[in-house]
Structure 1
Amino acid sequence: MLKNYGIYPSQLQKALNSHRNSISGFLDFLLQTPTGPNHFTKALIEKEGKEKFAKDVAKILGVTQKQVEKAYVEFSKKNRDTIILSGAEAVSLLMYEAGIEFVFAYPGTSELVLCNSLLKTPNIKLVNGRGDKESAFMAAGGSMISPATTAAVLHGSRGLTNATGAIADAYRNEIGAVYLVGLPSIASAPFLPPHGERNLIKSIGNFVKFHTEITEFVDENDSKKEKDRKIKDFFEKVNKVIENAKSFPIGPTMIGLPQDAMEERWIPYGILKNQTFTYHESFLSTEITKAIAKILKNKKHPIILIDDFLFKTRGAKESLAIFAKKIQAPILQIRYLRGPMLFERLSSTQNPYFAGSYDNKNSHHQKLIKMADLIITIEDRNGYPRVIGQLPNCQKIAITSNPAMTKKNNYLKRGDSMLTGDVSKILLSLTEYINPSHANEDKILSYCEKLHRASTVKIQSNRKFHFMRVEIAEIFTDIFQKVKNPIVVDDSQMLGGLLFEGYDKFPENLRVFGDHGGFIGGGMALSAGLALVYKSRARIFCFLGDQSFVNGFQSLVSVTQEKIPITYIICNNGKSVSLLKQAQSADSHAFNDGIDRFLQNAPFIDYTGLSKELGIKAYKIEFDPESKNKNKKNPEHILRNVLYKELNSKRPVVIELVLPSYPEAWKGIWAIKGNDEAS
């Protein structure tokens, strides 16, 4: 009952055992330690309120609140010490103030004091991620929808370098996770102990949006001016790490925390309690907004080209609908044809101006693009020729929260414009200066509908693979419709490409997160972090490939430990079908006609069996179109029944879906050439 004051249940029980009948003795036991005052608890009492603390203690001891308040006043008179926090306690309280809800950690000795402080901090749940990259990915998953909801604690150079792939992946996917890296003490750092390396934070800082580190702390010989400077520097650095994770462009941040700076008491609570967080937001001037609005009004054939990063911004779909209607512009969305292929997509029911996933080989889309006199790209990250082909030379306006990732695509020329910031707010601000035109509305809407039909993915018609190419997506459509807030995390690539063929049928409220970083094996931990944060608010489905399961199954340890409700679907097609297809496009006999085991699945690894060994409920469902067993020839009812059965499971579930590997089964999935290459 006193957890909100940094008091462990074991401490409370000891206090009750020895001082149940003495209020003053009870308070002395909890608020004093053998080494001095319990500064952290006293800080939390001030934060939560002395009256509330007295009320909570009174309830435990069976006395009145006034009696406890009186005893606390007497205690305070005898113990007038200024509340001085350790660096770890200060970091923990700042995380609390910033709204961090979960911290995933895989600590070493340098991080123990920080983890202990976090565990005692109210409203923060500390989770052992059971791995470096697992903790980093789980933190990224938890902040995927709302930035700086989660953080990870990593152990020095060994933990950080092991987790660098996960951190870089969070950076590419623009996820605002906060990474706290324990470093050797400032005194021992020059000697490079095992968990220390020169320029560690600066080097790995290339893979985050913002990085910094604490390099000094208050010494007893410091002048007041020096002490004030060091304390101010500490707050500025910790605050910036949190603020940068939440401000555009969204991205992960990192801070190095030396062991001695965390252990020593040097941060006055009186200064900490006055700290505030400032989230910087850029606003378009009225002059610029009017100038861009004038361009939009004077164009006859504007086209909007969006990327799925748009859907990360709150209110973006609604703002886009208003904007498209105001300027009467068809909307196309970038589609990915190899690597990760399943991303969130707009639907024509959400927005009637949606003309489909852009296909530069589609004659209808070619005609639309050629007649455009203005292209407005929104949250473009990958609109370069290899992905979308060459854009025409008409005028362009780019609206983006990440200017660097849009500029690199090199389609903006002299006379083009870029607007940066919160894209949802930018779209709405532009519409304020555009008068709606309904003259050609019906004609344009009819044209968009025609384009959408023409761009709908043509599913291969071979009846032999009907279960695989049609029914799987239909089954998941039904399942998603039964869930209040379904969320998909895709780490499967080929299965994701297959599911994208049925995207038109998916419910509008489905959220989908693919991986723009292409990290094979991150999905298991990423989705686990997301599922833990949104445990009671959404149902998470994670699609995996063979290689992603093998590279990521360590995260199942933490998933089992925390009883995270999540459904993993593993596509076991026996080999790396995508890589073999790519290799054989250049050499038809590559890897001994695909027989060599190099690109085959690892032998003797049983995905279902391994999951069961970890205490996870697991199912294996096989599809073999050549089988005489009707349950293998078409396992539609088996997959459907299993998914329905486990739909509301409070624990993790693994479903291994065994699919054929032969090329004709995967025809049309995975483009072997980019759109900048000759056909």
Structure 2
Amino acid sequence: MSKSPVKPARPATATSSETSRPTVRHAVIQLLRDFNMTTIFGNPGSTELPLFLDFPPDFRYQLGLQEAVVVGMADGYAQATRNAAFINLHSAAGVGNAMGAIFTAYKNGTPLVITAGQQARAILPYDPFLSSANAAELPKPYVKYSIEPARAEDVPQALARAYYMAMQQPCGPVLVSIPADDWARPCSYVEPRMVSTAIAPEPKVLEHMGAALDACQRPAFVVGSGVDRDSAWDSVLQLAERHNARVWTAPMCSRAGFPGDHRLFAGYLPAEREKIVALLGGHDLILVLGAPAFTYHVEGTGPHIPEGASLFQMVDDANIAAWTPNGTSLICSTDLGVQALLNRPAPPARPLPEARRQPARAEPSSPMSVAYLLQTLDEVRARDSIIVEEAPSARPVMHRYMPIYLSETFYTMASGGLGYGMAATIGVALGKPGRRIISLIGDGSSLYTFQALWNAVQLKLPITFIIVKNGRYAALEEFAPTFGFEPGSQLEGCSLPGIDFVALAKGMGCKAVHVDDAAALHDALRTGLQSDGPVLLEIDVA
């Protein structure tokens, strides 16, 4: 997430109103300033109120109407700003409500510093109302670090450690449980430190990888979320052009890693072993950058890579490297590793691989197809507009009809758990002020955190929410044949009739329009993309 050591914004010194022995609250507020975390995402409860006594004027509080919204907003904000986001949750109940979103942040590799309230230490032996039993255990295993400090005066140091761990590659969420009476206890300021967050490549393994890449005849790159997270987009593009490598996107990525309209771009790998092997067939070297090799959604059989191919992986997560079944893994920062490969002498020239076949143009129909919707959206939107997506059934179509052109313009969830998109859109908009944000959300997905729309209205954010309305959990119906269902079978619990998203949006004060005519789509999208504040388009699709 961060390419350079953490640099404090300013030294941690007491203000004139503070003594040489500050309270935990004073020390924590100063530490958050030093780490540039002056935005607090939360949904307050009684055990958290002491933090907000004399709330500092240089901080802002972003209220979420449910804890999943809180964490989702913070996830988008942290990715957009490339710094950990600070979250304040309400004891065990708040952490429990947030766990799905914390799981997604963990899979997304998003640095989050989560604090959770706890009852006062003095009454914890009596199992008081709103206490959290085993508070540090509750969020595991989907946090990198969790603790309830043994003493109140240890809270600032615990938060400093949590921040450094959240920012170290691979990035991820951490949690500190803080009893309510700790905030007023005396302690000492914690001086921020420079802590390296990037992992340099091991020279011996890098040389082996570089020599194999130079000697191969038909290389293929598989790029993952780690490319964009580590600001390696431009260097990966340069490396692919140097080797004339065909470039695929890894399965289930939360970020894009290569321009979708580039001559070398080959498309998106599915999360199925046999299909991955078939698509990568004919290549004698596969270089996986910033991704697992590979993420599967269904069980498979046979080899993990094509016969005659060798696999090399560059990833910042030692756990991923450990379970990768084939080849050589280099654990390092993606950007540092790719830059090191670029520093090698130029390899022999190779011919360009066969270009990706472009899909047939989608035509208007009634009801309109998802392909026509996304094709039209791609024609209308600016290339640098930012897409936040959570429309699982539309994603394969999006891969064909709506390329991602630039770095840091695409965000989705890597977890498979719904509820990320609506909330993360708010966080990305806060982290990229002034940019046009397009929230592309399935009707089923939107209902997990639809109340995030209230934040967009209150903040007057330039967001165009597009609800892809097919009236069902279409992704489940499309996946059902994998488990023996007949194609087109009606599944129990997958129908979503009778929901009026325009009415829901207007109830929160958001402008909203219903579109069910392909002839009206272009103008509706163009108008929606020019709005000063948020607008929701409910679009009926087949």
TM-score, with structure 2 as normaliser: 0.87
Inter-CA distance 342–128: structure 2 relative to 1 (3 Å threshold): closer
Q: Does the 8 Å CA contact 2:368/2:540 hold for their aligned counterparts?
A: no
Inter-CA distance 375–580: structure 2 relative to 1 (3 Å threshold): closer
Q: Does the 8 Å CA contact 2:101/2:419 hold for their aligned counterparts?
A: no
How far, CA to CA, are the matches of 1:548 and 1:497 in structure 2? 16
Q: Does the 8 Å CA contact 2:528/2:535 hold for their aligned counterparts?
A: yes
- Equivalent residue number for residue 477 of structure 2: 580
**AA at the equivalent of 1:620:** H
Report 1:414-433 matches (<5 A): 416-432=327-343
Deviation at 1:254, TM superposition (A): 1.3
- Equivalent residue number for residue 407 of structure 1: 322
How many residues in Structure 1 have an aligned counterpart in Structure 2? 525
**AA at the equivalent of 1:192:** D
Deviation at 1:121, TM superposition (A): 5.2
Report 1:517-596 matches (<5 A): 517-536=415-434, 538-583=435-480, 586-588=484-486, 594=490
**AA at the equivalent of 1:293:** G
**AA at the equivalent of 1:430:** L
Confirm whether residue 601 of structure 1 aligns to residue 496 of structure 2: yes
**Which structure has the larger Rg over C-alpha atoms?**
1
Q: C-alpha deviations, 1:27-64, integer Å up to 9, x for none?
A: xxxxxxxxxxxxxx993459xxxxxxxxxxxxxxxxxx
Confirm whether residue 468 of structure 1 aligns to residue 369 of structure 2: yes
**AA at the equivalent of 1:477:** D
**AA at the equivalent of 1:114:** L
**AA at the equivalent of 1:399:** M
How far, CA to CA, are the matches of 2:346 and 2:418 in structure 1? 46
- Equivalent residue number for residue 639 of structure 1: 521
- Equivalent residue number for residue 493 of structure 1: 392
Deviation at 1:120, TM superposition (A): 0.7
Query: Displaced runs of 4+ in structure 1, greater than 6 A?
Result: 359-365, 460-463
Report 1:70-89 matches (<5 A): 82-89=19-26
- Equivalent residue number for residue 3 of structure 2: none
The correspondence for 2:100, drawn from 146, 162, 165, is 165
Deviation at 1:307, TM superposition (A): 2.2
How far, CA to CA, are the matches of 2:230 and 2:210 in structure 1? 22
The correspondence for 1:138, drawn from 68, 73, 76, is 73
Larger RCO of the pair (alpha carbons < 8 Å, separation 6+): 2
Q: Does the 8 Å CA contact 2:254/2:414 hold for their aligned counterparts?
A: no
Inter-CA distance 176–363: structure 2 relative to 1 (3 Å threshold): closer
> RMSD of the TM alignment (CA)?
3.2
Confirm whether residue 188 of structure 1 aligns to residue 123 of structure 2: yes
Inter-CA distance 549–99: structure 2 relative to 1 (3 Å threshold): same
- Equivalent residue number for residue 344 of structure 1: 256
Confirm whether residue 120 of structure 1 aligns to residue 56 of structure 2: yes
- Equivalent residue number for residue 95 of structure 1: 32
Deviation at 1:287, TM superposition (A): 4.3
Inter-CA distance 102–640: structure 2 relative to 1 (3 Å threshold): farther
Inter-CA distance 143–435: structure 2 relative to 1 (3 Å threshold): same
Inter-CA distance 294–178: structure 2 relative to 1 (3 Å threshold): same
Q: Does the 8 Å CA contact 1:42/1:83 hold for their aligned counterparts?
A: no
Deviation at 1:213, TM superposition (A): 2.4
Deviation at 1:255, TM superposition (A): 1.1
Confirm whether residue 201 of structure 1 aligns to residue 115 of structure 2: no
Confirm whether residue 313 of structure 1 aligns to residue 284 of structure 2: no
How far, CA to CA, are the matches of 2:501 and 2:128 in structure 1? 39
Q: Does the 8 Å CA contact 2:155/2:178 hold for their aligned counterparts?
A: no
Deviation at 1:327, TM superposition (A): 4.3
Secondary structure at 1:187 match in 2 = helix
Greater CA deviation, 324-333 or 647-656?
Answer: 324-333
How far, CA to CA, are the matches of 2:380 and 2:496 in structure 1? 29
**AA at the equivalent of 1:440:** A
Choose between structure 1 and 2: higher helix proportion. Answer: 1
Deviation at 1:567, TM superposition (A): 1.4
Q: Does the 8 Å CA contact 2:201/2:336 hold for their aligned counterparts?
A: no
Inter-CA distance 363–356: structure 2 relative to 1 (3 Å threshold): same
- Equivalent residue number for residue 290 of structure 1: 207
Q: C-alpha deviations, 1:144-203, integer Å up to 9, x for none?
A: 233434221101011111111111111011111221111112222222223223212223
How far, CA to CA, are the matches of 2:243 and 2:56 in structure 1? 54
How far, CA to CA, are the matches of 1:399 and 1:647 in structure 2? 38
Deviation at 1:649, TM superposition (A): 2.7
Q: C-alpha deviations, 1:204-250, integer Å up to 9, x for none?
A: 13111222222213xxxxxxxxxxxxx5x444311111112222001
Deviation at 1:361, TM superposition (A): 11
Confirm whether residue 215 of structure 1 aligns to residue 150 of structure 2: yes
Inter-CA distance 534–427: structure 2 relative to 1 (3 Å threshold): same
Secondary structure at 1:520 match in 2 = coil
Secondary structure at 1:205 match in 2 = coil
**AA at the equivalent of 2:349:** N
- Equivalent residue number for residue 511 of structure 2: 617
Q: Does the 8 Å CA contact 2:201/2:333 hold for their aligned counterparts?
A: no
Gaps (5+ residues) in structure 1? 1-40, 47-80, 218-230, 623-631, 661-679
Confirm whether residue 435 of structure 1 aligns to residue 317 of structure 2: no
Deviation at 1:275, TM superposition (A): 3.1
Percent sequence identity is: 20
